[in-house]
């Protein structure tokens, strides 16, 4: 049975976990409790790994076989409502330079009312009505 999501991961947080970087232990603890990542952040994660020579299909298959993907980590598709929230976050986050992927993570956290985990400490300056947890 799938673990319910208790947090939202940014691509930077998932990448830290997958590559054993600083903050990986924080993400590991979060994954045990169940997490979700937006499809945009999942694409960003796979893109970064592809830049480093890893095949996206192989990564996906490996994470499924390890029991991570679709078990303790779920991918949440971006629908019209979430896309609108992402767009609404553009102006309030523009001054700190947040990307589309950053805003996708935040929008999903707002939508699900779950804490967001990221390696980007600048997010903690935002007041969006959600908890933002830097992993390092």
Give me the percent of the chain exceeding a pLDDT of 70.
98
pLDDT for 90 beyond 90 = yes
Q: What is the pTM of this model?
A: 0.94
For the segment 108-136, the average pLDDT, to the nearest whole number, is 97
Strands (E), the chain: 8-9, 35-38, 73-76, 116-118, 132-134
pLDDT for 89 beyond 70 = yes
Domain covering 8-134 in this structure, CATH number: 3.40.50.1010
| pLDDT, tens digit (0-9, with 9 covering 90-100), for 22-65 | 999 999 999 999 999 999 999 999 999 999 999 999 999 999 99
For the segment 121-129, the average pLDDT, to the nearest whole number, is 95
Closest CA to 73 of 14, 134, 131: 14
Query: With contact defined as beta carbons under 8 Å apart, do 133 and 24 qualify?
Result: no
Q: What is the pLDDT of residue 4?
A: 80
């Amino acid at each position: 049975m799938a673990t319910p999501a208790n947090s939202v991961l940014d691509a930077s947080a998932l990448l830290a976990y997958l590559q054993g970087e600083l903050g990986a232990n924080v993400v590991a603890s979060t994954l045990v409790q169940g997490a979700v990542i937006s499809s945009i952040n999942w694409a960003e994660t796979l893109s970064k790994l592809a830049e480093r020579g890893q095949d996206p299909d192989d990564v996906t298959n490996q994470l499924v076989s390890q029991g991570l993907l679709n078990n303790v980590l779920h991918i949440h598709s971006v629908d019209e409502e979430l896309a609108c929230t992402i767009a609404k976050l553009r102006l309030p986050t523009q001054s700190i330079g947040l990307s589309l992927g950053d805003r996708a993570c935040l929008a999903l956290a707002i939508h699900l009312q779950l804490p967001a985990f990221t390696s980007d400490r600048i997010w903690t300056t935002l007041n969006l009505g959600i908890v933002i947890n830097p992993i390092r």
